[in-house]
Amino acid sequence: MTHVSDSRTAVVTGAASGMGRSTAEALVKDGWDVLALDRVATTFEAAGQTIQTIGVDVTRREDVRDAITANIAGRTVGLVANIAGIYPPSTLDDFTEDVYRKVFDVNVLGVLNVTAEAVQYMTEGGSVVNFASVDAFAVSRGQLLYGASKAAVVMLTKELALELAPRRIRVNAIAPGWVNTPGNAATGRMEAAAASIPLGRVGQPEEIARWVSILASQDAAYMTGETIVLSGGDVIR
């Protein structure tokens, strides 16, 4: 966790790599005090500061509670960015109960666990940003369970927006398309994907991270319950 005096505090999951790391870096540059959570404990530099991720399994609510309680230290949480997620391929022919539970536990239960614990430290004006996916809206071959889990995140975003509105806490989501992350690069399909995207390229993690800051800012103060698709025109709603 970075330590910035009198700064806002953001809880970011999946912060060790990819879009989670880029989001943590962007928020530090914007003056946020970041509590970085990930299943992998690591450190990296952002804006001249060292960010240390706290090793936490987001599927275990008690562990999430302990991590937040131990590290918030009386601060007010202004932002929760639920970015942790997994995307093993699955079809009707090869899915297993174990894969189903892993996907939904991380992608759906993890969002609920972190939000439920973090909003206890939120006051009016706080913001929750969930990470869904374009696969919540468009069918992708071989992503039976992942697509279903991200569709669930879209609906959770709507339900949580209504539930938390009386407290003036906003809840929105981002649905990225192809983004240049280590996980996507490992598929070997990014070049082909880029060729099919109307804007002619995949997104960069920093571009997605910027939208977390926007959704947490006063520029989006009248927006809640929405999911923004960032796909270069690959999926248009």
- Tell me, what CATH number does 39's domain have? 3.40.50.720
Give 176-237 as a DSSP string: E-SB--HHHHTTT-HHHHHHHSTTSS-B-HHHHHHHHHHHHSGGGTT--S-EEEESTTSS--
H-assigned helices in the chain? 18-29, 61-72, 97-104, 110-118, 144-164, 182-185, 190-196, 205-216
Pairwise CA distance, residues 96 & 153, whole Å: 21
In a domain, 230, yes or no: no
214 vs 191: CA distance, rounded Å:
29
Per DSSP, what are the bridge partners of residue 10? 34, 79
Distance CA 66, CA 69 (A): 5
In a domain, 159, yes or no: yes
> What is the tally of structural domains in the chain?
1
pLDDT tens digit at each of 237 positions of the chain: 544 333 499 999 999 999 999 999 999 999 999 999 999 999 999 999 999 999 999 999 999 999 999 999 889 999 999 999 999 999 999 999 999 999 999 999 999 999 999 999 999 999 999 999 999 999 999 999 999 999 999 999 999 999 999 999 999 999 999 999 988 888 888 889 999 999 999 999 999 999 999 999 999 999 999 999 999 999 998
Is residue 193 in some structural domain? no
Tokens standing for residue 61:
């609510």
28 close to 99: Cβ distance less than 8 angstroms: no
Answer yes or no: pTM beyond 0.75.
Answer: yes
Residues 83 and 19: beta-carbon distance below 8 Å: yes
- The domain of 24 spans 8-176+205-224
Determine the pLDDT at residue 187: 82
What pLDDT does residue 74 have?
A: 86
Note if 146 is an active site residue.
Answer: yes
Residue 85 lies in a domain: yes
User: Residue 195: inside a domain, yes or no?
Assistant: no
Give me the catalytic one of 87, 100, 146, 222.
146
